[in-house]
Chains A and B, each alone.
Chain A
């Protein structure tokens, strides 16, 4: 369980980033943090593994206050993927990047070898094994950064902007992967602006604006509430946006998927 209680944080004591953030995320949940640029999403994520410590309030992960643990201790359980993948790399090859934490966490050389191969294959990066991570394309870098953390199987996975630079194949894979993780009882927190991705993933959505939580609910409810979306500089996903604009009474527009949207429209036709 991740618990934020009235968390306040300012950078250098001057730039206010979090202004009393409170929420609780339980096991097996998938949560998406959404909100305008500069809302505080990244700052929240950096609090979860103790990279930042609240200046007021508390962050508690599995009963441990992050103030009483080091980042290294927390990271075994709490995997954080940074917004800019370049900031995660510090080794010479893709292979070493993935292997690094596994070695730290006591995997045997054979286990390391197997796990790295497996993860690189899953993320479609095996042919870059011996390349420098900095020579990958933008999307490949992002994928590598997720692979690095997924490799050691942390119980909590926090991904800042997972879809940046990703094509359709990988976005589908990601939806599938995150759901599998959640089914295994892992907790997933992502931060994203990508409303169409959220419409596919259908997580619980925590809307952040100017350092505060302004809404917390299902993707279906939050992403179809025009007023709320506007406050967080978001737009409605295309399917509900379309259904809402159909000039006919009795349209259920709280639908996010393409198929269910199409069925609703067919229903409208058959109603005459």
Chain B
């Protein structure tokens, strides 16, 4: 089934003459992990706001086209209702934290759903463990480092167990090990709960290997989409303004040895090299 369907979406922020999104079309199936990438200012965050309904409900502006999320229309369904099924982690975690303690922040959305106390306690504990910040539980959210704040924001949304997860550059302030473990969590949740994930990221090296689909945006519209390996191949060929994993760049430089194959992961390129004789 379709989790997200976007048809001919165009959007301008109030008072702006430029379109932030222009005639954008996109389909995401249930249980898919989608990597959304593109140059800075191309409209990734705006698209995410259209999917959870903050655009147009909170932002106003000029909105055309149609969006369906789990069969609902986010332009008219109250965002607080949408958010039961669609969890959003904002680009800047500062804007998302407001309970005073870490555990209070994670529990807040669960309290809003009217869950029982035991259930809340269990989910808070699990979510904090998942992102590795159990020891920060009693700390005040104002008194955390940038990465720690981002982890709290992620934990708060994971605790909701949404069907669709929208993540806006969730690893931007995470250290690499934490980023990796977040990716592993996503993969596991997708397998276990059929979670659908849409993740805006510049760090393609992290997401391309595990994504089912990679979408490249530019100037408010989708300019390419497909399997990450194919998209990366075209990104190299046509010089898209996106980050290309170093392994893929290397494979491109070694194309005469590798039969023009492009690899996304270190492991795969090593295997390919050994196969063609680069080993003892």
A contacts B: CB pair < 8 Å? yes
Chain B residues near A15 (CB-CB < 8 A):
139, 143
Which A226-248 residues have a C-beta within 8 angstroms of B? 232-235, 237-239, 241-242, 245-248
Contact of B266 among A135, A139, A241 (CB under 8 A): A241
Judge whether A137 and B40 touch: CB under 8 Å.
yes
Judge whether A36 and B175 touch: CB under 8 Å.
yes
Judge whether A38 and B148 touch: CB under 8 Å.
yes
Which A88-122 residues have a C-beta within 8 angstroms of B? none
Judge whether A258 and B243 touch: CB under 8 Å.
no
Judge whether B246 and A238 touch: CB under 8 Å.
yes
Judge whether B253 and A262 touch: CB under 8 Å.
yes
**Cα–Cα, bound, A111→B263 (Å):** 50
Judge whether B274 and A168 touch: CB under 8 Å.
no
State the Cβ distance, A198 to closest chain B Cβ, in Å.
Answer: 11
Asked if A166 is at the interface of the complex by the 8 Å CB criterion, the answer is yes
**Cα–Cα, bound, A196→B38 (Å):** 18
Chain A residues near B179 (CB-CB < 8 A):
193
Asked if B78 is at the interface of the complex by the 8 Å CB criterion, the answer is no
Asked if B261 is at the interface of the complex by the 8 Å CB criterion, the answer is no
Asked if A217 is at the interface of the complex by the 8 Å CB criterion, the answer is no
Chain A residues near B109 (CB-CB < 8 A):
none
Contact indicator per residue, chain A 199-237, by CB within 8 Å of chain B (1) or not (0): 100000000000000000000000000000000111101
Q: Which of B40, B178, B205, B274 has the most CB of A within 10 A?
A: B40
For A, the interface residue count at a CB cutoff of 8 angstroms equals 56
**Cα–Cα, bound, A258→B40 (Å):** 24
Chain A residues near B151 (CB-CB < 8 A):
37
Given contacts A135-B13, A165-B40, A269-B277, is CB(A84)–CB(B246) below 8 Å? Answer: no
Contact indicator per residue, chain B 81-112, by CB within 8 Å of chain A (1) or not (0): 00000000001101100000000000000000
**Cα–Cα, bound, A239→B249 (Å):** 10
Chain B residues near A137 (CB-CB < 8 A):
40-41, 45
Judge whether A235 and B277 touch: CB under 8 Å.
no
Asked if B241 is at the interface of the complex by the 8 Å CB criterion, the answer is yes
What are the 3 A-B residue pairs with the smallest beta carbon separation, nearest first?
A: A139-B40, A37-B147, A262-B253
B residues at A contact (CB < 8 Å):
13, 38-41, 45, 91-92, 94-95, 139, 143-148, 151, 168-169, 172-180, 202, 205, 241-247, 249-250, 253-254, 257, 266-267, 269-270, 273-274, 277-280
